[in-house]
Amino acid sequence: MNEVNSDLGVGLLGMGVVGTAVAATLIGRAEEFAKHTGKNLKLHKVVVRDLDRQREIELPEDTLSNDVDAVLENSDIEIVVEVMGGLDPAGQYIRRALAAGKHVVTANKELIAKEGPDLFEIARKNGSSLHFEASVAGAIPAIHPQLRDLRANKIKSITGIINGTTNYILTNMVQKGMAFDNVLSEAQSLGYAESDPTSDVEGYDAAYKIAILASLAFDQRVSPDDVITEGISKIEPKDLEYAAELGYAVKLLAIAEQKEDGCLVRVHPTLLPEQTPLAKIDGVQNAIQILGDLSGPLTFQGAGAGGSATASAVISDVLEVARALAIGNAPLWDSGIQGEGDILTLESLETRYYLRLLVSDRTGVLARVADVFGEKNVSIAAVYQKEIHAQEDVAELVIMTHKASEASLNEAIEMLSQIPDVHAVNNRIRVED
Amino acid sequence: MNEVNSDLGVGLLGMGVVGTAVAATLIGRAEEFAKHTGKNLKLHKVVVRDLDRQREIELPEDTLSNDVDAVLENSDIEIVVEVMGGLDPAGQYIRRALAAGKHVVTANKELIAKEGPDLFEIARKNGSSLHFEASVAGAIPAIHPQLRDLRANKIKSITGIINGTTNYILTNMVQKGMAFDNVLSEAQSLGYAESDPTSDVEGYDAAYKIAILASLAFDQRVSPDDVITEGISKIEPKDLEYAAELGYAVKLLAIAEQKEDGCLVRVHPTLLPEQTPLAKIDGVQNAIQILGDLSGPLTFQGAGAGGSATASAVISDVLEVARALAIGNAPLWDSGIQGEGDILTLESLETRYYLRLLVSDRTGVLARVADVFGEKNVSIAAVYQKEIHAQEDVAELVIMTHKASEASLNEAIEMLSQIPDVHAVNNRIRVED
């Protein structure tokens, strides 16, 4: 349909799972891509650390290099694809590429979330561009809907399950009744969790992603430091069991909301009524709900990670740049990631809470606990007393509150901890309805 | 963030529910849109048939006109938004606008499905462009994901609930046990169905939409005539009840599949296992599942119609055109709607079937029926005999088949109709697993 007018050089930085899928597809589908874009996409160089490592695919001779200058100093390469991950040296390489007028496609959520504004500024100054659809939720369109398809809307909120590892762990803790540590080990051996799982399980990975989504949605800079972040490592099988008895699933939710006086962005385990769509997202699936004032609620669901799914987003970005260049367009849009606006702290949150307390199994304790909540204006919706057979003199109280402010709840927990008969507040999980 | 460099005139054709929402938003959000796009979007003219009709919003003086030339011959207007619907005169107006070098944004699925290739050709020749995200599934991104976000994929199939009226009717038939005609009347009085409901209930509306989606997915022209289309008017409450007993929901599905020897595109009532995501899409909601070879299955869900939801897509297209013009880009992409490829007929379909037969309640009839299926190589998975209390000498047989070819099934039905004890094949509904 389009005349193929010229070659367009592509350089790839990194050849892990995603890079391998990108390289294989660019090579295998070269003819179709040329027909579609009007450019012959040529994968000139792939930069890797270790030239001797066994690779899953065979590349044309002289394509592999361990010298990043083979891409960055190569005037035949107009598009640089970065799939190494991490801040350094990926950030340094992307800066050099953008400064040299090259267009960059990246899947690097940490870098975009932390240093996006600086990178976009470099691109703007140098007539280059930076594309990052792959940085959030794999193949699920998450960036472009906000930049383009839903641009007419005021976005009120974004709620998502955007970390597959934690969702896999929570799903398996429920289904197998296993403890967090055991499921994590299993996930690691299956390749669903990294050998250092901190970024996933402590919620940092989800925080990077929701920071990016919130920046776009609210047209203001939201950095990962602005995201209230709590991981899933404290969740016990008991919490999942009690939640299920009450009709809830527990999910690591990323939530960004535009409120009257600013935006509130958070990542934390959340009790969700089990009939809600997000409660049913199991295993490594991702789902994102966007609430626009014109669109109403929209849900996007699919594989949020994996080589092919991420390559789908990476290469689609490459194709869009190629198509733009072929017809003489600048492959630019606004990042929407550097505006200013107020960001709220957790103290402003009003929500419902699930609490699990270990108390002495003695008359009057429940009344004392209830008093504390009353004093702090936290209204209790229900209390369930759970027997603990191993220790006969203690009992577990599961408390569901009505909507209360986080500040009041924290004060109540502080007061509870001073009651001798309250041995521990074993968990506090927020509830979304 | 962007300097506002100049005015950009917009003309609106039609001011029904969608047009009203478009006009209200363009006027009410002018400042933000200018900041985002770098163009002052000015709604110069709104063309309506009846100038005297009461309008829900007040427009600036001299904006309303009943003369289409006020838009088409107006050199200040660079973007024309068409939300009249129907082939004529909308098609004529869009042709004139494109020929005059104006960019056109439309929500007109019938026109794009039937005459898209011709319109895109006119745009190409005249340096204009045609944008149609709003033509399918309201605010849900349905067009752009295929043109851009998933472009790297080979799309294997698209399956959707893309007509809100029929989904509303089926949902209410189930929930209230009411007959089709009664629910339709109710839907009409509530504004969920048109006074002439033919296009919705006979599946034509869904056929236009899946023709557009299939054209994009498979990069070949699929016209509405290529879509095998069957509506929901023959579905009886009994079918829904029996399906539910067997664990299925009945939905009007639009399905486009790329097979080895061509693509098969169809719209028909379908039994879906009730635990599948699409089976749970109730009321006027829409959902689209796209299966890409890299992305895996993706699901998009939301409001598929309505003034605001459609305006969300229309205005987002307008903003993208404005942004492109502001930075000197051509707001063009490939429509992907004019390639060539083979299109399969229903005879090539292999699927499972639900059949409901009215038979004499007499020994040997079931054996005779089973013989016919055996002879035609249609394997029966289960037979359920349902008593009919009103007529004691007849019984109803509900038959679920294994996978069979549509051709064999049709032959079996033809043979059954010649058995005196088979009084009627009251329904035949395809099953997707």
Summarised one tens digit per residue, pLDDT across range B231-276 is: 999 999 999 999 999 999 999 999 999 999 999 999 999 999 998 8
Q: Which of B209, B251, B259, B386 is catalytic?
A: B209
The string of DSSP letters for B256-269 reads EEEETTEEEEEEEE
pLDDT of residue B334: 61
Kindly determine whether residue A298 and residue B140, on different chains, have CB atoms separated by under 8 Å.
yes
Backbone φ, ψ for residue B131 (5° rounding):
-125, 135
Tell me the chain B residues in contact with residue A315 when contact means C-beta distances shorter than 8 Å. Answer: 151-152, 294
Average pLDDT over residues B186-214: 94
Residues A385 and A243 in one domain: no
pLDDT band at A387 (very low <50, low <70, confident <90, very high): confident
Residue with the larger pLDDT of the pair B4 and B268: B268
Interface size A-B, in CB pairs within 8 Å, comes to: 171
Q: Given this model, what pLDDT does residue A389 score?
A: 66
**How many residues in total does chain A contain?**
433
Q: How far apart are CA A211 and CA A26, in angstroms?
A: 30
| Cis upstream peptide for A117 (omega within 30°) | no
List, as ranges, residues 240-259 from B with C-beta within 8 Å of A.
none
Residue B386 sits in the same domain as residue B289:
no
CA distance B314 to chain A (A): 9
pLDDT of A1: 43
> Are A182 and A271 in a shared domain?
yes
Strand B155-161 vs strand B285-292: parallel, antiparallel, or unpaired?
A: antiparallel
Query: Closest approach of chain B CAs to the CA of A302, in angstroms?
Result: 5
Q: Note the pLDDT of residue A363.
A: 87
Only one residue has tokens 């009790």, namely A271
Contact B284, B299 (CB under 8 A): no
Q: Is A227 helix (H, G, I), strand (E, B) or coil?
A: coil
Which residues of chain A have a CB within 8 Å of the CB of B140?
298
Residues 6+ apart with CB under 8 A from B173: B179, B180, B183, B235, B237, B240
Domain that holds residue A20: 6-139+307-326
Q: CA of A306 to nearest chain B CA: how many angstroms apart?
A: 9
Residue A9 to chain B, least CA–CA distance (Å):
17
Predicted local confidence at residue B1, as pLDDT: 43
Please judge whether A148 and B145 are an interchain contact, meaning their C-beta atoms are less than 8 angstroms apart. Answer: no
Residue B222 phi, psi dihedral angles, 5° rounding: -120, 115
A345-354, A410-419, B201-210, B337-346: segment of lowest average pLDDT: B337-346
Same domain, A116 and A184: no
In B131-150, the residues whose Cβ lies within 8 Å of chain A are 133, 138-141, 144-145, 148-150
Is the Cβ of A179 closer than 8 Å to some Cβ of chain B?
no
* Angle at A199 (CA atoms; ends A266, B301), nearest 5 degrees: 55
Q: Which of B218, B312, B321, B337 to mutate to test the interface with A (most CBs of A within 10 A)?
A: B312
Per-chain mean pLDDT for chain A: 93
Find chain A residues with C-beta within 8 A of B309's C-beta.
294-296
From A278, which residue of chain B is nearest by alpha-carbon distance?
B277
Residues of B in contact with A324 (CB under 8 A): 329
Q: Is B160 helix (H, G, I), strand (E, B) or coil?
A: strand
Is residue B34 within 8 Å of B4, Cβ to Cβ?
yes
Query: How many domains would you assign to chain B?
Result: 3
Report the chain A residue with the minimal C-alpha distance to residue B27: A152
Whether A336 maps to a domain, the answer reads no
Residue B305 Cα distances to A158, A159, B18, B191, B301, angstroms: 21, 23, 9, 12, 12
- Paired strand residues for A308: none
Confidence of residue A388 (pLDDT cuts 50, 70, 90): confident
Contact at 8 Å (CB) between A135 and B303? no
Q: What is the pLDDT of residues A271-301, one digit of tens each?
A: 999 988 899 999 989 999 999 999 999 999 9
Please tell me the distance from the alpha carbon of residue A72 to that of residue A49, in angstroms, as a whole number. 15
Question: β-strand B262-273 against B248-259: which pairing, if any?
Answer: antiparallel
* DSSP secondary structure, B264-330, as one string: EEEEEEEEEETTSGGGG--TTEEEEEEEETTTEEEEEEEE-SSHHHHHHHHHHHHHHHHHHHHTT--
Beta bridge partners of A259: A262
Catalytic: B251? no
Task: Choose the closest CB to A311 out of B145, B294, B339.
Answer: B294
A296 touches chain B (CB under 8 A): yes
Instruction: Please list every residue in chain B whose beta carbon sits closer than 8 Å to the beta carbon of residue A313.
Output: 149
B163 plus B298 within the same structural domain: yes
The Cα–Cα gap between B137 and B280 comes to: 17
Q: What is the mean pLDDT of residues A217-222?
A: 93
User: Which CATH number covers residue B225?
Assistant: 3.30.360.10
Report the distance separating Cα B369 and Cα A135, nearest Å: 58
Residue A284 CA to residue A286 CA, distance in Å, equals 7
Which of B149, B280, B308, B314 should one mutate to test binding to chain A, selecting the residue with the greatest count of A CBs within 10 A? B149
Q: Which of B211-220, B274-283, B324-333 has the lowest mean pLDDT?
A: B324-333
**Concatenated DSSP letters for B297-308?**
EEEEEEE-SSHH
Is A254 part of any domain? Answer: yes
Report the SS3 class of residue A270. strand
Token pair of B83 as six digits: 């939300």
- Measure the CA–CA gap between B311 and B43, rounded to whole angstroms: 14
In this prediction, residue B337 carries a pLDDT of 59
Q: What is the mean pLDDT of residues A56-82?
A: 96
Q: B88: how many CB neighbours lie within 10 A of its CB? A: 9
For A:264-293, CB contacts with B below 8 A are: 277, 292-293
Q: Do A184 and A294 fall within a single domain?
A: yes
Q: What are the pLDDT digits (tens) for B121-162?
A: 999 999 999 999 999 999 999 999 999 999 999 999 999 999
- Top pLDDT among A392 and B37 is at B37
How would residue A322 be classed by pLDDT, with cut points 50, 70 and 90?
A: very high
Measured between CA atoms, the residue of chain B closest to residue A137 is B295
- pLDDT value at residue B2: 46
ipTM of this complex: 0.94
Q: Cβ contact (<8 Å) for A150 and B144?
A: no
Q: What percent of chain A has pLDDT over 90?
A: 86
**Do residues B356 and B238 lie in contact, with contact meaning Cβ atoms separated by under 8 Å?**
yes
Domain-embedded: residue A112: yes
Q: Which residues of A touch B339 (CB under 8 A)?
A: 1
List all residues of chain B from 1 to 20 with a beta carbon under 8 Å from chain A: 1-2
| Same domain flag for B14 and B91 | yes
Residue A331 lies in a domain: no
Please say whether the beta carbons of B72 and B100 come within 8 A.
yes
Closest chain A residue to B138, measured at CA:
A295
Q: Hey, are the CB atoms on B315 and A296 less than 8 Å from each other?
A: no
Residues of B in contact with A148 (CB under 8 A): 144, 316, 319-320
Q: Are A155 and B159 in contact (CB under 8 A)?
A: no
Question: What CATH number has the domain bearing residue A420?
Answer: 3.30.70.260
Report the DSSP pairing between strands A77-82 and B380-387: unpaired
In this model, does residue A323 exceed pLDDT 90? yes
Tell me how far apart the alpha carbons of residues A107 and A317 are, in angstroms, rounded to a whole number.
10
A148: Cα separation from own chain's centroid: 20
Same domain? For B165 and B56 the reply is no
Is A334 close to B315, i.e. CB distance below 8 A?
Answer: no
A156 touches chain B (CB under 8 A): no
Asked, for residue B344, whether it belongs to a domain, the answer is no
B155-161 vs B77-82, strand pairing mode: unpaired
Shared domain for A66 and A97, answered yes or no, is yes
- Which of A36, A149, A312 minimises the CB distance to B316? A149
pTM over 0.90: yes
Closest-CA residue in chain B for A325? B329
Residues of A in contact with B153 (CB under 8 A): 312, 316
B294 → closest Cβ in A139, A141, A148? A139
B372, part of any domain: yes
Yes or no, beta carbons of A330 and B329 under 8 Å apart: yes
Examine the pLDDT at A333 and tell me if it is beyond 80.
no
Q: Could you tell me if B375 and B318 lie in one domain? A: no
pLDDT at B272: 97
3-state secondary structure B227-256: CEECCCCCCCHHHHHHHHHCCEEEEEEEEE
Whose structure tokens read 């909507």?
A403
- The closest CB to that of B151, out of A150, A316, A333, belongs to A316
- Please indicate, yes or no, whether residues B291 and B161 belong to a single structural domain of this protein: yes
On whether both A272 and A298 belong to a single domain, the answer is yes
**What is the distance between the alpha carbons of residues A397 and A170, in angstroms, rounded to a whole number?**
22
Question: How far, rounded to the nearest angstrom, does the alpha carbon of residue A267 sit from its chain's CA centroid?
Answer: 9
Annotated catalytic residue within A39, A114, A209, A251: A209
Verify whether the Cβ–Cβ distance A329 to B333 is below 8 Å: no
Interface of A with B in 325-344 (CB under 8 A): 327-330, 332-334, 338-339
pLDDT of residue B338: 60
Per-residue pLDDT tens over the stretch B374-416: 999 999 999 998 877 666 788 999 999 999 999 999 999 999 9
Give the side-chain half-sphere CA count within 13 A for A273.
Answer: 5
The answer to whether the CB atoms of B36 and A151 lie below 8 A apart is yes
- Computed over every residue of chain B, the mean pLDDT equals 93
What SS3 state is found at A202? coil
Whether residues A140 and B298 touch (CB distance < 8 A) is answered with: yes
The CATH number covering residue B85 comes to 3.40.50.720
Q: Is residue A414 part of a domain?
A: yes
Give the model's pLDDT for residue A275. Answer: 87
Cα distance from B149 to chain A (closest Cα, Å)? 6
B262-273 and B422-431 beta bridge pairing = parallel
Pairwise CA distance, residues A107 & A94, whole Å: 12
Nearest CA in chain B to A329: B329
For residue B225, being part of any structural domain is answered with yes
Place of tokens 């005459």: B115
**Mutating which of A294, A315, A335 best tests the B interface, going by the most B Cβ atoms within 10 A?**
A294
